[in-house]
Amino acid sequence: MFNSKRVGIMGTGSIAGTMARTLKGMKGVTCYAVASRTYEKAEAFAKENKVKRAYGSYQEMCMDPKVDLIYVATPHSAHFENTCLALEYGKPVLCEKAFALNEKQAAEMFKMAAEKDLFLAEAMWTRFIPLAGKLKEILSSNKIGDIMMVTADLSYNIAWKQRITDASLGGGALLDLGVYGLNFASMVLGNDVVNISAVSKKGDGGMDMQDSITLSYRDGQIAVITCSAISCGSGKGFIFGTNGHIEVENINNFESITVYNNAGIKEGFYKKEKQITGYEYEVMSAINSLNENWKECPEMPKAQSLEIMKMMDFIREQIDVKFPQDDDNLDEEQTETSESVESAETVEEIIDEVTESLSEEVSEDSPVDDSNGEAETVEASDSEETEETENAENSDEEAEEKDEE
């Protein structure tokens, strides 16, 4: 396609597969290249997803002059080094969330992008979906009066995953799940937070397994965010106003928005639009930004990413959760650890994995119809899962690599 932007995907995990499928369903953009730490993985991914170029190192793909945009699909523990590598080679970057491990890393990433005069944005997809725009429209209409309180939860029992338990991988529930609740509160109430209070339950490795976070705003509003890696939650967001309330189904990828008046009577209902995967909106924004020569996306600008990272740093300080990378930039040993991990999980894939696990447990006693347990973004093939399971058995480093992100 003439004038089509060519995207290179960094990483070959299932979130990369989600993006490849997304790009194939879009116009004006091409899934042109994929890079892995081994050519075999990249080649297998390219064949499965019909990607033109496969590279056995991230650097090789960054050197390809035909790549117009690099999508970083690795775990957040590797985002800093992967993004900086792409920027060093002059490539615009759309980087998955959580954007970095801490605000220091994020600031350095944006500083480098500014020095190189390059586009850089965080792919916090909930900021880009159309229902997010509809929510802003509803709130500005004053249908439920003045907003006084927000609550949001995103919780899945995924405590067995190494990326949750390992500090060097940016473990814990906060960066993995809590980031969605913080973004939801920010979308509704903004960032004029004057106080943050957080409590957590830690696992044996010192990482937060579940968190309760209260944000207090200058004008008196309150947001309560919960996330857990050891229990299953509703995934819902509630917005309470002086004249009614709003319920958002699935704060990760809004399924619906329901508006109630102060008598609890439904006054509005808005359903999720048909999607390819939901990732297309962040890609469209990135491509539009490149076409307009903008250096960030208006839906998720630099200031917003830094604000969320700052909040998470403060929360981690309160609950005493530390990463080795908080003290310095990645040293050689930490770089090796993060490079051993190439894939990340989306929350949809977590849902699917948990559902599949529960179905298998139940099937030991009785047959189960799991036809409703499939999530919209199930990406890993059986062969990928088998290979990853075998790798996990052979190496602690490979154990964190996505089970299917």
Q: Which of 256, 274, 292 is the last residue of a domain?
A: 274
Helix (H, G, I), strand (E, B) or coil at 237: strand
Residue listed under structure tokens 């991914």: 45
Are residues 30 and 102 located together in one domain of the fold? yes
Are residues 168 and 261 located together in one domain of the fold? yes
Are residues 150 and 269 located together in one domain of the fold? yes
Are residues 282 and 270 located together in one domain of the fold? no
Are residues 282 and 242 located together in one domain of the fold? no
Q: Which of 274, 291, 323 is the last residue of a domain?
A: 274
Specify if 331 maps to a domain: no
- The interaxial angle of helices 332-339 and 79-88, nearest 10 deg, is 90
Cα–Cα distance for residue pair 20/327, rounded to 1 Å: 35
Helix (H, G, I), strand (E, B) or coil at 195: strand
User: Residue 56 maps to which CATH number?
Assistant: 3.40.50.720
Are residues 220 and 266 located together in one domain of the fold? yes
Specify if 312 maps to a domain: no
Cα–Cα distance for residue pair 223/193, rounded to 1 Å: 10
Please tell me the predicted confidence (pLDDT) of residue 14: 86
Please tell me the predicted confidence (pLDDT) of residue 259: 98
Cα–Cα distance for residue pair 37/353, rounded to 1 Å: 25
| Contact assessment for residue 144 and residue 239, using Cβ atoms and an 8 Å cutoff | yes
Are residues 225 and 286 located together in one domain of the fold? no
199-241: pLDDT as tens digits: 999 999 999 999 999 999 999 999 999 999 999 999 999 999 9
Specify if 188 maps to a domain: yes
Give bridge partners of residue 72 from the DSSP assignment.
10, 95
> Strand (E) positions, 191-255?
193-202, 208-217, 222-228, 237-241, 244-249
| Contact assessment for residue 247 and residue 238, using Cβ atoms and an 8 Å cutoff | yes
Domain extent for 51:
5-124+278-301
Please tell me the predicted confidence (pLDDT) of residue 343: 52
Domain count, the chain: 3
Are residues 380 and 250 located together in one domain of the fold? no
Q: Which of 89, 105, 37, 97 is nearest to 73 (CA)?
A: 97
Are residues 283 and 262 located together in one domain of the fold? no
DSSP H/E element including 31? strand 29-35
Q: What Å distances lie between residue 259 and 87, 144, 175, 189, 377, CA to CA?
A: 43, 8, 30, 17, 28
Specify if 31 maps to a domain: yes
User: Residue 223 maps to which CATH number?
Assistant: 3.30.360.10
pTM attached to this predicted model: 0.83
Please tell me the predicted confidence (pLDDT) of residue 327: 85
Please tell me the predicted confidence (pLDDT) of residue 347: 54
In one letter, which amino acid is 401? E
The runs of H, that is alpha helices, within 68-208 are 79-88, 103-116, 130-140, 162-165, 173, 179-189
Are residues 258 and 135 located together in one domain of the fold? yes
Cα–Cα distance for residue pair 335/325, rounded to 1 Å: 10
Specify if 310 maps to a domain: no
Tens digit of pLDDT at every position of the chain (405 positions)? 457 999 999 999 989 999 999 999 999 999 999 999 999 999 999 999 999 999 999 999 999 999 999 999 998 899 999 999 999 999 999 999 999 999 999 999 999 999 999 999 999 999 999 999 999 999 999 999 999 999 999 999 999 999 899 999 999 999 999 999 999 999 999 999 999 999 999 999 999 999 999 999 999 999 999 999 999 999 999 999 999 999 999 999 999 999 999 999 999 999 999 999 999 999 999 999 999 999 999 999 999 999 999 999 999 999 999 999 998 644 443 444 344 455 555 555 555 554 454 444 433 343 333 333 333 332 333 333 333 333 333 333 333 333 333
- The interaxial angle of helices 179-189 and 302-319, nearest 10 deg, is 120
Specify if 115 maps to a domain: yes
Specify if 325 maps to a domain: no
Q: What Å distances lie between residue 185 and 95, 128, 194, CA to CA?
A: 21, 15, 14
Specify if 329 maps to a domain: no
Are residues 134 and 203 located together in one domain of the fold? yes
Are residues 206 and 240 located together in one domain of the fold? yes
